[in-house]
Structure 1
Amino acid sequence: MPLTLERPLPRAGPSLPQLDALRGVAILAVFVQHAGDRFLPLVRPAIEANAPSPLVPWILTVLHHAWWGVDLFFVLSGFSLGLSWLRSGGQTPREFLLRRAARILPAYWVALVVTLAFHRGVLDAPALPASLAAHLLVLQGYVSPGGIVIIGATWSLTTEACFYLLFPWLAPVILREGRRALWIGAALVVGSWLARAALHAIVLEPGVHTGLLEATQRRWIPSRLDQFVLGALAARAFVVLSRSARAAAIAPYALVACVPALVVAFRLEGLRYLEPGGGWPYALLSLVTAALVLSAVLCRGRALAIVAPRPLAFVGIVSYGVFLYHQLALGLSDLEPQSPPTWKNLAGTTSFALVASLIVGYASWVLVERPSMRWASPKRGESRPSPA
């Protein structure tokens, strides 16, 4: 039988504010990563010139690993879906997949149309029909006919979609009571780590960052399944630990401890990624990210107010729309796209793009995402559907 809460949560309802805040952290990290693609050559010399030399490599490794926002999104996805499963007592595969499709596809398809409207030059490309088919079927993370990538960041939706197809069959197994379910979940996590390590060893050309290496380590579901499963197992742990006052008291300290642990994981991953055996630091990164999520959702009282401030939670609520449109906003806001980056350009580009992304993200949430979820859940009567 599935785990149960001592005080049952609503069958469906708003997500925990900590989850919204963590989604806010994740999308801001992704935004920084994509803004930094152009401006890191400007920022890096400034850091090297002004920061204490022992700290420079650590600061740079954090900046280089802003893509960690995707890792956090994957763990949060596993946690949110796992907690929803436990709240509802289980869902049929049809019900689950309908809800997931309603959550992801309408807003994504609208974003595709909007993005193409601003890049009309691609409409004449011979491979556009094949590329559109790949995007509409959410396969763009694995195939890109003609090299056409309409929304670059949405490769992660392909990985998410693969997990959605597996989840209705995994959830009843790993979210049940008893040690057997935990052992199965642990086996899936370790199996994912071994798959990633094997792919790393097979594909690696030492010192060379190839597209195939990136795909095997970042995009393929066998190499990412650990983060979704760890998130679901963290939801199971939350159900048990949420009854404990001691866990709530320890959670803020555990959350603080996760931050330096993450930086160490970033540093190890950056140093080892292009070397033989360099896939193992990723396991540490996944574990610490799952621990961070669990620690955050266990925070109560004053710690909760610090972990989940309202502005950050708002960013998390609209994060999917921000995710879909922030690269378009960054491109449109670049004041001098062909010139060397300047501090003026950095400030103008990032400020405009962030504000525009938040506005459009909110519009996407209100006009597309929330109505789509309500349509898929007519019997639930949610006043504000969870952004999960």
Structure 2
Amino acid sequence: MPLALERPAPSAGPSLPQLDALRGVAILAVFVQHLGDRFLPLVRASVEARAPAPLVPWILTVLHHAWWGVDLFFVLSGFSLGLSWIRSGGQTPRDFLLRRAARILPAYWVALVVTIAFHRGVLDAPSFAASLAAHLLVLQGYVSPGGIVIIGATWSLTTEACFYLVFPWLAPLVCKEGRRAIWIGAGLVIGSWLVRMLLHAIVLEPGIHTGLLEATQRRWIPSRLDQFVLGALAARAYVAHARSERAAAIAPYALAACVPALVIAFRLEGLHYLEPGGGAPYALLSLVTAALVLSAVLCRGRALGIVAPRPLAFVGIVSYGVFLYHQLALGLADLEPASPPTWKNLTRTASFALVASLVVGYVSWVLVERPAMRWASQKRRESRPSPA
């Protein structure tokens, strides 16, 4: 959810439809990733049988990297929060954390209740109480008592929450004008890359994909800080060039160039992830993702309509609810979980789960997320001192 993002508040300036569209891309990628948990072997066999041999590795590397949606969400989070901070002239830690809590927690807690209601057997597990406590405190990305995972995708909320805790003190350092902020941001990004590579070297068992390797490279905030900071730096660049005709003219071509660059980053990361030095290619993936976000938000005119079509922007607006419920929907939609996967079952499962996720995501947006954000905004206004 990565994922729990919001449009900038009205006081922070107009929202960007490109951000909603990019959130739509991100959640659809995450949906495809979890759909592939069951059906990827079927799709892989079809690709290997029908695609030209030289293209097969490249097609498969894109399919295997659908989890890139989480990387995109993290960069978007840094961009959205950085842009909001710049436009508002800064926020107190209390106001910021109140808004973040209102954005994430109510909808997430409701989703926990709904998911448990559909999987009541988990209530009898010996470690259920401890696991529920970890989930309620948004620690499930780092700890899973008894191996109980209520909503698997929400591990990323733990990483997000860690970033929220440091952002009020980080924003004044990297979101201000001037070269000093750029150097500080670059230092944090490079430092995160070095930490990720060091952890990779420490925990790597060549050729083996372990849970600890996954945690150090994907979940721990020191290894993901680069994507949030790159997003914030992209927000600075956007503010500096938003009115530039030259930037708007170049943006569509830069965006188009980011697509093959991403595929190359996927390929390098996939080839070397389980080898010594395999933590390095992720830096390219983060950089290209940030460049893609910046290029998209700088698009104007005809390019804007292509980058941010309304249906995709709608998916982005309700993306947090889709994120919270799509795995439940996928499980309910797969009527033949014990049978070998077929194209008929794939099509039926994907269609039902996607439509159900969008409907429930919209309901979550209307009934839980938007009211919670309005409540937080009201609290913020009430806490401001009255003018003399």
Map of 2:208 onto structure 1: 208
Shift of 1:125: 0.8
Q: Secondary structure at the match of 1:378?
A: helix
1:243 to partner: Cα distance: 2.2
* Paired residue type of 2:182: L
Q: 1:289 to 1:317 in 2, by over 3 A?
A: same
Displaced runs of 4 or more, over 4 A: none
C-alpha distance in 2 between matches for 1:379 and 1:165 = 20
In the alignment, what sits opposite 1:82? 82
1:274 positional shift: 0.1
Instruction: State whether structure 2 residue 116 is matched by structure 1 residue 119.
Output: no
Task: Read off the aligned partner of 2:258 and give its amino acid letter.
Answer: C
Separation of aligned partners in 2, 1:380 and 1:353: 37
Q: Paired residues, what number?
A: 373
Q: Which residue of 2 aligns with 1:6?
A: none
* 1:163 alignment partner in structure 2: 163
Please state how far the C-alpha of 1:178 moved relative to its aligned partner: 1.1
The equivalent residue for 1:16 is 16
Secondary structure (helix, strand or coil) at the match of 1:55 reads helix
CA distance in 2, matches of 1:27, 1:14: 23
Residue 12 of structure 1 deviates from its aligned partner by: 3.2
1:4 — aligned with what? none
Look up the equivalent residue of 1:338 and give its one-letter code: A
Mapped to 1, the partners of 2:10 and 2:120 lie a distance apart of 46
TM-score of the aligned structures, taking structure 2 as reference length: 0.95
Query: Which residue in the other structure is 2:49 paired with?
Result: 49
Measure the CA separation in 2 of the matches of 1:215 and 1:155.
Answer: 10
Match of 1:322 in 2: 322
Residue 355 and residue 242 in structure 1: after superposition, are their counterparts in 2 closer, same or farther (change >3 A)? same
Mapped partners of 2:291, 2:193: distance in 1: 17
Native 8 Å contact 1:189 1:226 kept in 2: yes
1:178 maps to 2:178: yes
- One-letter code of the match for 1:90? G
TM-score scaled by structure 1? 0.95
Q: Tell me which amino acid in the other structure corresponds to 1:350.
A: A
Q: Deviations over 1:3-48 (max 9, x none)?
A: xxxxxx9523653000000000000000000001100111111101
On the 8 A contact 1:103/1:373 being kept in 2, the answer is yes
Question: Residue 204 of structure 1 aligns to which amino acid in structure 2?
Answer: L
Question: CA-to-partner distance for each residue in 1:197-220, whole Å, 9 max, x for gaps?
Answer: 000000000000000000000000
Distance 1:365 1:26 in 2: 17
2:386 — aligned with what? Answer: none
In the alignment, structure 1 residue 29 sits paired with structure 2 residue 29: yes
Sequence identity (%): 88
Contact 1:21/1:314, CA 8 A, preserved across alignment:
yes
Question: How far off its partner does 1:378 sit?
Answer: 1.5
Task: Return the alpha-carbon distance in structure 2 between the equivalents of residues 10 and 347 of structure 1.
Answer: 40
Q: Which residue of 1 aligns with 2:38?
A: 38
Whether contact under 8 Å (1:97, 1:164) holds in the other structure is yes
Query: Which residue is equivalent to 2:374?
Result: 374
Cα distance in 2 for residues equivalent to 1:58 and 1:320: 30
Give the CA deviation at 1:353: 0.2
Cα deviation for residue 380 of structure 1 reads 8.2
Change (3 A) 1:101 1:379: closer
Gaps of 5+ in 2: 1-8, 382-388
Q: Which amino acid is 1:58 matched to?
A: W
Whichever residue aligns with residue 164 of structure 2, its letter is: Y
* Counterpart Cα distance in 1 of 2:233 and 2:193: 16
> Pairwise CA RMSD of aligned residues?
1.1
Q: Is the 8 A contact 1:78 1:232 kept in 2?
A: yes
Which residue is 1:341 aligned to? 341
Report the Cα distance in structure 1 between the residues aligned to 2:134 and 2:15, rounded to whole angstroms: 32
Amino acid at match of 2:234: A
What is the rounded CA distance, in whole Å, between the counterparts of 1:136 and 1:309 in structure 2?
A: 36
Q: Distance in 2 between matches of 1:380 and 1:313?
A: 28
2:242 is aligned with 1:242: yes
**Contact preservation (8 Å) 1:335, 1:348:** no
Q: Which runs of 5+ in 1 are unaligned?
A: 1-8, 382-388
